[in-house]
Amino acid sequence: MSKLAGVKGIHEIAIVLNESNNMDNHVAKQLAGQLSLLSDSGNRVRDWQQVQPMLATIISQMGASNAVILIIFVSAMGFGIVNVMLMSVFERTRELGMLMAIGMVKGKVFSLIIMESTLLGVTGATIGLLASLMLVTLLGHTGIPLGSMAQGLGAFGVDTTLYPTVSANEYVAVFVTVVLVSILASLYPARQILKQRPVDAMSHKH
Amino acid sequence: MSIEIRQLSKVYNPESDFPVHAVKALDLSIKQGEFVAVMGPSGSGKTTLLNMIGGIDSPTSGAVCIDDNDICLLDDKALIAFRRDHVGFIFQDYSLLPVLTALENVEFVMQLQGHSEQVCRQRATELLNQVGLTDQLHKVPAKLSGGQQQRVAVARALAPRPRFVMADEPTANLDAKSTSELLDIMQQLNEKEGTTFIFSTHDQRVIKRAKRVIVFDDGQLVEDKQQ
Ligand SMILES: Nc1ncnc2c1ncn2[C@@H]1O[C@H](COP(=O)(O)OP(=O)(O)O)[C@@H](O)[C@H]1O
Ligand SMILES: [Mg+2]
């Protein structure tokens, strides 16, 4: 290399920091500042964002695009839950009508519906999260090879194998959302059924 | 407890071009302990009448007085309590809770009344013995035949010690043998517990067993005979 370029000695030193945190590279900046003070005036010290401004921009935009994708997924999930809840309550209209007929007070029928929906939500969320935990842990070990799709990334010096991680906070947020949506989605069918007279609820066709 | 029905009428879709007069200005009185069959062709208004007496449907006009109290004037809450404590229902499609065993189905209605677990268990077991299901206590409805399910329903209707039991075509889905067994059981309970039974049917074999037959056609009483 030095023969080819006809340069003597060292012409570039790359410093890899252990604790680098994507965008927040103030440690790198600090270090760069200190180094430029120490070194000769002929040397330039740059952090990676200056070396690769394009990659820096892409990464800084990632937060926004992630949020958009998350919103799309969460609303799709929300509609799914609403659909399941409407069905699971309405398909039992006859049974609930019978309960009112034989003397169960409306408050009890209501709490029955809400309790069942909560249980359904908690069970569904738990199973879903356990499955995703397993999948994410597995992929965290094996990684997701992006292969030829991401050869461009390789040019930026980025690994073409992804190691997904999900934080505990995100799991909690999803769990709470699922359970809340389940409960909210059962309020409407519960009201619709309780408003009917027992005969009408019982003559409900599936 | 007597049932006095005065000028009872029910009109379905009163605002429409074709209102249906399902029950027309009916007067009827039923005394405690009677075993009454309401008979009539399909569409004559039997179901509508039974639903109004049982307090699960409301009349367009008229009164259903139980011991001089018009149940049509009760508010929602009082009406539910009235049904819970005084009316037993037997439905054509049995309407048992599918996830509960026979025993739990019967106990459940007593729990609504606030009886202790022990009292519920004892009475439910006793009633299921009486209807001949001693060996089926812990089976869920899906594991029972139609006749057996309807017998569970009879036990459930009787469990809260109601003053009267409403049964809308209770034998419509049963074969001849199950029908006859069910009637034996209903008759026994009627005699033993003094519970009033009012059931609708268009089955001649069932009508023969009734002590009083009310013939109904087009929402009106055509005949009322003791036998
Ligand atoms: N929910 C309803 N809406 C409109 N019409 C009804 C309704 N229920 C019953 N009817 C009509 O009222 C009449 C009496 O019905 P019903 O009481 O079910 O008779 P039955 O039990 O003797 O067959 C029939 O003409 C029936 O079509
Ligand atoms: Mg009918």
Q: Give the burial class of B9: count Cβ atoms within 10 A of its Cβ; 0-12 exposed, 13-18 middle, 19 or more buried.
A: middle
Position A25 scores a pLDDT of 67
CB contact under 8 A, A100 and B80: yes
| Contact indicator for B80, B58 with CB cutoff of 8 Å | no
Q: Same domain for A191 and A89?
A: yes
Q: Which of A14, A30, A51 is the last residue of a domain?
A: A51
Mutate to test the interface with A, among B13, B49, B53, B56 (most CBs of A within 10 A): B56
> Looking at the complex, does the CB of residue A102 fall below 8 Å from at least one CB of chain B?
yes
Range of the domain at A123: 53-202
Nearest to B91 by CA among B37, B42, B154: B154
| Contact indicator for B91, B34 with CB cutoff of 8 Å | no
Q: How many CB atoms lie within 10 A of CB B125?
A: 17
Q: Which of A51, A66, A86 is the last residue of a domain?
A: A51
Tell me the pLDDT band of B99, cut-offs 50, 70 and 90: very high
| CA of B43 relative to ligand 2 center, distance in Å | 7
Position B227 scores a pLDDT of 86
Cα–Cα distances (Å) from A92 to A56, A190, B34, in that order, read 55, 11, 35
| CA of A102 relative to ligand 1 center, distance in Å | 21
Q: Which residues, other chains included, contact B221 with Cβ-Cβ below 8 Å and sequence gap of 6+?
A: B26, B27, B28, B214, B215
Nearest to B166 by CA among B64, B6, B4, B56: B56
Is the pLDDT assigned to residue A60 strictly greater than 90?
no
Tell me the pLDDT band of A156, cut-offs 50, 70 and 90: low
B61 lines ligand 1 (CB under 6 A): no
Q: Same domain for A22 and A85?
A: no
Q: Which residue in chain A has the smallest CA separation from B88?
A: A102
Q: Same domain for A170 and A104?
A: yes
State the SS3 of A171-186.
HHHHHHHHHHHHHHHH
CB contact under 8 A, B89 and A101: yes
> Looking at the complex, does the CB of residue A103 fall below 8 Å from at least one CB of chain B?
yes
Q: Which amino acid is at B76?
A: D
Nearest to B52 by CA among B168, B163, B154: B168
| Contact indicator for A102, B89 with CB cutoff of 8 Å | yes
- Which bin fits B39, alpha (ψ -120 to 50), beta or left (φ > 0)? beta
Q: Same domain for A146 and A62?
A: yes
User: Which of A94, A103, A199 is closest, CB to CB, to B80?
Assistant: A103
Position A3 scores a pLDDT of 62
Nearest to A120 by CA among A187, A178, A188: A178
Is the pLDDT assigned to residue A162 strictly greater than 70?
yes
Element containing residue B7 per DSSP (H, E) = strand B3-12
Tell me the pLDDT band of B169, cut-offs 50, 70 and 90: very high
Sign of the Cα pseudo-torsion (A190, A192, A198, A200, in order): negative
Sign of the Cα pseudo-torsion (A114, A120, A122, A128, in order): negative
Is the pLDDT assigned to residue A177 strictly greater than 80?
yes
Tell me the pLDDT band of A56, cut-offs 50, 70 and 90: confident
Nearest to B89 by CA among A108, A97, A196: A97
CA of A202 vs chain B CAs: smallest distance (Å): 9
| CA of B202 relative to ligand 2 center, distance in Å | 10
Tell me the pLDDT band of B71, cut-offs 50, 70 and 90: very high
Position B226 scores a pLDDT of 92
| Overall number of domains in chain A | 2
Q: Same domain for A62 and A13?
A: no
| Contact indicator for B38, B214 with CB cutoff of 8 Å | yes
Position A145 scores a pLDDT of 81
Q: Which residues, other chains included, contact A168 with Cβ-Cβ below 8 Å and sequence gap of 6+?
A: none
Question: Average pLDDT, whole number, for chain A?
Answer: 84
Tell me the pLDDT band of A11, cut-offs 50, 70 and 90: confident
Q: Which amino acid is at A138?
A: L
- Which bin fits B169, alpha (ψ -120 to 50), beta or left (φ > 0)? left
Q: Same domain for A120 and A32?
A: no
A131: its two tokens: 């499955």
Lowest mean pLDDT among B1-5, B57-61, B121-125, B156-160: B1-5
Measured CA to CA, the distance from residue B200 to residue B213 in angstroms comes to 10
Q: Same domain for A60 and A159?
A: yes
The closest-lying atom of ligand 1 relative to the alpha carbon of residue B169 is: 21
Sign of the Cα pseudo-torsion (B145, B146, B150, B153, in order): positive
| Between A28 and B181, residue with greater pLDDT | B181
Measured CA to CA, the distance from residue A200 to residue B8 in angstroms comes to 20
B96 lines ligand 1 (CB under 6 A): no
The CA-to-CA distance between both ends of chain B, in Å, stands at: 22
Reported as a single tens digit per residue, the pLDDT across A102-155 is 999 999 999 999 999 999 999 999 999 999 999 999 998 888 887 766 667 666
CB contact under 8 A, B76 and A102: no
Reported as a single tens digit per residue, the pLDDT across B174-221 is 889 989 989 998 999 899 889 999 999 988 889 999 999 999 999 999
A86: its two tokens: 């409407």
Position A38 scores a pLDDT of 76
Is the pLDDT assigned to residue B32 strictly greater than 80?
yes
Q: Same domain for A90 and A133?
A: yes
Q: What percent of chain B has pLDDT over 90?
A: 88
B195 lines ligand 1 (CB under 6 A): no
Position A104 scores a pLDDT of 94
Q: What percent of chain A has pLDDT over 90?
A: 42
Position B64 scores a pLDDT of 96
Q: Which of A51, A74, A90 is the last residue of a domain?
A: A51
Query: Domains in chain B, start-ordered, CATH in brackets?
Result: 3-226 (3.40.50.300)
| Contact indicator for A56, A29 with CB cutoff of 8 Å | no
Q: Same domain for A19 and A92?
A: no
ipTM: 0.90
Beta pairing class for B164-168 and B3-12: unpaired
Q: Same domain for A95 and A22?
A: no
Q: What is the DSSP letter of B118?
A: H
Q: Same domain for A40 and A87?
A: no
B51 lines ligand 1 (CB under 6 A): no
Q: Same domain for A29 and A63?
A: no
